[in-house]
């Protein structure tokens, strides 16, 4: 091979190498470009996964809210902060259209806690929730709300400028620029099939992608469910603390708030006053015009209290025709002024058919008349009784020197009972009860606890708390029949002691699951006599109460025991003890039957009218129980 042939051959081989290198380079570039593209796709998918995960976390928060029985305000607060924090929105809020005497406006239900919220406060000079937000009539927005469709817009300036008409456009523009808001999205929210409010989110993105809008639609459904559930819990909670007839708070709520007020008053060394009010002549109204007119009179009193109460006052219907008003930070002088204003306002009410109504009122002040809540309530009650005794339709200030506590009589009685060695009570239990009763400045709730503990010794199914409920019911029934304070006190003591004779009966009979024999029934019928003659007779302070207890199982038609007394020969207080005892026994379980519902118990009471009890007592009792 010649020289040039070798050169050509080498060049061919060189071209081949270059071609191979070029091909390899091209392949490498393709691999490199594919790697870059793959990395970008991985990054994009990772971001999508992160967003999806954030959305799942947000939805999870809503589910947690739905399962936590949180108040509606807490649920809404959690919603806006979840969106703002986890999905990158700059600001979120929930607003609702409202109308007052100034016209339509936007009520702020919740707002996210974020820098934008702080900027809004700076711009307004006050928090957003303290501002009146103007409502704008926008056909496009209205269309989306009415058709439950998501609305989005880039016109942030117009939305903010319209809501805050008193802020200059320069300030609004500067606020929008600082916040970085470019667009906003409005998501209509529904509850129970109706428009509830709108969720508004402000974003730094010019437009939401389809995936984001789809999520917001799904999220809105979860929010609606959470709102519906929270609203339901709120309604149930309100019903639990609200009197159904009047819309005032009920006895349970008042007692809980009064306990809190005691702690606050002690901490701040500040007095508070309780006004006790009793509608006059309710029994006469019921007898003459019917219970429906009695309810109208009760509701009229409630409206007066609502009108005259301050926002921090607590007005409650304690049951029947009895009301209490708690006045935080008010001394007895302020209490008397408030009570007189209420008395006069009630006196000026004129109702169809009934005419004018009046109320007897008592006033007592914590820190002046007593530092014990139970004693304060007793003083209020006594002052109210004094108003009734002295002619009704008047206000009476409490007088601690006149306090003769029925609770003290009952406490002394229990102490004497526990000293009786014949009672089959374990020594440690007896000592524990004595300690509860005899401690300095005794809390009178200990009285109810001891009564319940004794009942539970012979009746394991006895409900703790029944003793206090019976006392409240007895007090309301006594007021319906306008018993004197002395007779009402005797009735209350009898309510705590009437079944004490059961302590001396064999437990195997009291807790027997099968029907009693005639001999066992005869033995059971001795318990009122045992209570009256063997247990209570030696106790001097309850001599006036013994006849009530001795006759508390006599029936109106004369078929009761122990004396087969009938009709008006049965002491009125004994008749009251019988119906109260029977009702609370029916709604408790027994070894031989389940507990009855309130409605079933009332049905049984109606069936025994003019047999076990007279019709007037039965009807008044049913009225009280139905309203509680």
Q: What is the pLDDT of residue 208?
A: 82
pLDDT at 355 over 70: yes
Joined tokens for residue 107: 């009520």
Strands 395-397 and 359-366: parallel
Complete DSSP assignment for 85-129: HHS--SEEEEEEEEEETTEEEEEEEEE--SHHHHHHHHHHTS-GG
pLDDT at 433 over 90: no
3-class SS at 461?
Answer: coil
Under 8 Å between Cβ of 329 and 354:
no
Under 8 Å between Cβ of 226 and 75:
yes
Averaged pLDDT for residues 601-617: 94
Return d(Cα 478, Cα 450) in angstroms, integer. 24
Select the CATH number that applies to the domain covering 249-400 from these four: 3.40.50.1100, 3.30.590.20, 3.30.70.270, 3.30.465.10: 3.30.70.270
- List pLDDT tens digits, range 62-104: 555 555 556 677 777 877 787 765 566 888 888 888 887 788 8
Element containing residue 133 per DSSP (H, E) = strand 133-134
- List pLDDT tens digits, range 376-422: 998 999 899 899 989 999 999 998 876 667 888 888 888 888 777 66
Task: Choose the weakest-confidence range: 17-21, 80-84, 329-333.
Answer: 17-21
Considering only CA atoms, which of 527, 593, 525 is closest in space to residue 564?
Answer: 525
pLDDT at 606 over 50: yes
Residue the block writes with tokens 């302590």 = 503
Under 8 Å between Cβ of 349 and 247:
no
Position 113 confidence tier, pLDDT thresholds 50, 70, 90: confident
pLDDT at 33 over 70: no
Under 8 Å between Cβ of 581 and 552:
yes
Among 4-13, 258-267, 492-501, the range with the most confident prediction by mean pLDDT is 258-267
pLDDT at 286 over 60: yes
Considering only CA atoms, which of 200, 161, 205 is closest in space to residue 180?
Answer: 205
Q: Is the dihedral of CA 223, 229, 230, 232 positive or negative?
A: positive
Phi and psi of 195, rounded to 5°? Answer: -60, 130
Phi and psi of 532, rounded to 5°? Answer: -75, -45
Considering only CA atoms, which of 490, 466, 435, 483 is closest in space to residue 589?
Answer: 466
Supply the pTM of this predicted model.
0.60
Considering only CA atoms, which of 623, 576, 606 is closest in space to residue 319?
Answer: 623
Joined tokens for residue 267: 């901490």
Return d(Cα 246, Cα 298) in angstroms, integer. 7
How many angstroms separate the Cα of 257 from the Cα of each of 327, 370, 523?
Answer: 11, 18, 46
Under 8 Å between Cβ of 534 and 498:
no
**Intra-chain end-to-end CA distance of the chain, in Å:** 123
Position 440 confidence tier, pLDDT thresholds 50, 70, 90: very low
Under 8 Å between Cβ of 338 and 277:
no
Position 204 confidence tier, pLDDT thresholds 50, 70, 90: confident
What CATH number labels 406-627? 1.10.3210.10
* Residues above pLDDT 90, as percent of the chain: 29
Return d(Cα 578, Cα 590) in angstroms, integer. 18
Averaged pLDDT for residues 201-210: 85
Return d(Cα 397, Cα 275) in angstroms, integer. 9
Return d(Cα 430, Cα 434) in angstroms, integer. 6
Q: Please give the residue that has the higher pLDDT: either 528 or 492.
A: 492
Return d(Cα 84, Cα 202) in angstroms, integer. 9
Under 8 Å between Cβ of 609 and 523:
no
Q: What is the pLDDT of residue 551?
A: 92
Q: Is the bond leading into 562 cis (omega within 30 degrees of zero)? A: yes
Element containing residue 195 per DSSP (H, E) = strand 194-203
Position 246 confidence tier, pLDDT thresholds 50, 70, 90: very high
How high does pLDDT run on average in the chain? 82
- List pLDDT tens digits, range 137-177: 788 888 888 888 989 888 888 878 777 767 888 888 888 88
Under 8 Å between Cβ of 460 and 511:
yes
Considering the segment(s) 72-240 as one domain, its CATH architecture is 2-Layer Sandwich (3.30)
Averaged pLDDT for residues 487-507: 84
* Residues above pLDDT 70, as percent of the chain: 82
Strand order across the beta sheet in which 183-191 lies = 133-134, 103-111, 91-100, 194-203, 183-191, 151-153
Buried b (16+ CB within 10 A) or exposed e, 286-315: beebebebbbbbbbbbbebbeebbeeebbb
Joined tokens for residue 605: 């009471």
Q: Please give the residue that has the higher pLDDT: either 113 or 607.
A: 607
Q: What is the pLDDT of residue 233?
A: 67
Considering only CA atoms, which of 302, 305, 284 is closest in space to residue 355?
Answer: 284
pLDDT at 454 over 60: yes
3-class SS at 537?
Answer: coil
Return d(Cα 97, Cα 105) in angstroms, integer. 6
3-class SS at 463?
Answer: coil
Residue 366, strand partner residues? 272, 370
Q: What is the pLDDT of residue 74?
A: 75
* Domain boundaries, given as residue ranges, for the chain: 72-240, 249-400, 406-627
Under 8 Å between Cβ of 468 and 522:
no
């Amino acid at each position: 091979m010649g020289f040039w042939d070798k050169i050509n051959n080498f060049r061919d081989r060189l071209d081949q190498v270059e071609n191979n290198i070029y091909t390899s380079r091209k392949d490498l570039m393709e691999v490199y470009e594919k790697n870059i593209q793959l990395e970008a796709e991985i990054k994009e998918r990772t971001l999508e996964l992160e967003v999806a995960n954030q959305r799942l976390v947000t939805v999870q928060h809503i589910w947690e809210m739905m399962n936590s029985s949180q108040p509606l305000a807490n649920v809404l607060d959690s919603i806006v902060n979840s969106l703002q924090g986890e999905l990158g929105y700059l600001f979120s809020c929930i607003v609702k259209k409202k109308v007052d005497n100034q016209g339509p406006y936007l009520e702020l239900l919740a707002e996210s806690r974020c820098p934008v919220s702080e900027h809004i406060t700076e711009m307004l000079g006050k928090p957003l929730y303290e501002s009146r937000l103007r409502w704008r009539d926008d056909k496009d927005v209205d269309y989306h709300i009415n058709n439950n469709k998501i609305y989005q817009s880039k016109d942030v300036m117009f939305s903010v400028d319209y809501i805050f008409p008193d802020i200059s456009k320069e300030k609004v523009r500067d606020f929008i620029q600082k916040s970085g808001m470019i667009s906003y999205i409005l998501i209509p929210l529904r509850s129970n099939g109706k428009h509830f409010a709108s969720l508004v989110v402000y974003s730094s993105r010019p437009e939401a992608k389809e995936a984001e809008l789809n999520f917001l639609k799904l999220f809105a459904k979860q929010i609606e469910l959470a709102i519906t559930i929270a609203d339901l819990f709120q309604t149930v909670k309100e019903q639990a603390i609200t009197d159904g007839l009047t819309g005032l708070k009920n006895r349970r709520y008042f007692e809980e708030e009064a306990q809190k007020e005691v702690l606050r008053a002690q901490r701040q060394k500040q007095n508070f006053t309780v006004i006790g009010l009793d509608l006059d002549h309710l029994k006469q109204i019921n007898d003459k015009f019917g219970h429906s007119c009695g309810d109208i009179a009760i509701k009229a009193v409630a409206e007066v209290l609502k009108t005259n109460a301050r926002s921090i006052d607590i007005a409650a219907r304690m049951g029947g025709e009895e009301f209490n008003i708690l006045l935080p930070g008010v001394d007895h002088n302020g209490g008397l002024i408030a009570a007189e204003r209420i008395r006069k306002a009630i006196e000026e009410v004129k109702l169809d058919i009934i005419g004018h109504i009046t109320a007897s009122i008592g006033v007592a002040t914590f820190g002046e008349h007593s530092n014990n809540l139970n004693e304060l309530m007793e003083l209020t009650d006594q002052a109210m009784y004094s108003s009734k005794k002295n002619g009704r339709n008047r206000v009476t200030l409490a007088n601690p020197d006149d306090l003769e506590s029925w609770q003290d009589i009952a406490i002394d009685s229990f102490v004497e009972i526990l000293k009786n060695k014949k009672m089959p009570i374990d020594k440690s239990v007896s000592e524990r009860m004595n300690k509860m009763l005899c401690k300095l400045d005794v809390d009178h709730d200990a009285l109810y606890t001891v009564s319940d503990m004794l009942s539970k010794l012979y009746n394991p199914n006895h409900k703790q708390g029944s003793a206090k409920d019976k006392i409240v019911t007895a007090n309301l029934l006594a007021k319906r029949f306008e018993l004197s304070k002395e007779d009402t006190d005797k009735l209350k003591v009898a309510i705590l002691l009437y079944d004490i004779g059961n302590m001396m009966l064999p437990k195997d009979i009291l807790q027997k699951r099968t029907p009693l024999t005639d001999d066992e029934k005869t033995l059971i019928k001795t318990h009122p006599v045992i209570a009256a003659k063997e247990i209570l007779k030696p106790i001097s302070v309850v001599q006036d109460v013994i006849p009530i207890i001795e006759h508390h199982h006599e029936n109106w038609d004369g078929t009761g025991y122990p004396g087969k007394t009938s009709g008006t020969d049965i002491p009125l207080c004994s008749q009251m003890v019988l119906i109260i005892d029977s009702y609370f026994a029916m709604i408790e379980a027994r070894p031989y039957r389940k507990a009855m519902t309130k409605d079933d118990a009332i049905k049984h009471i109606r069936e025994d009218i003019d047999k076990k009890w007279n019709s007037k007592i039965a009807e008044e009792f049913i009225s009280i129980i139905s309203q509680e």
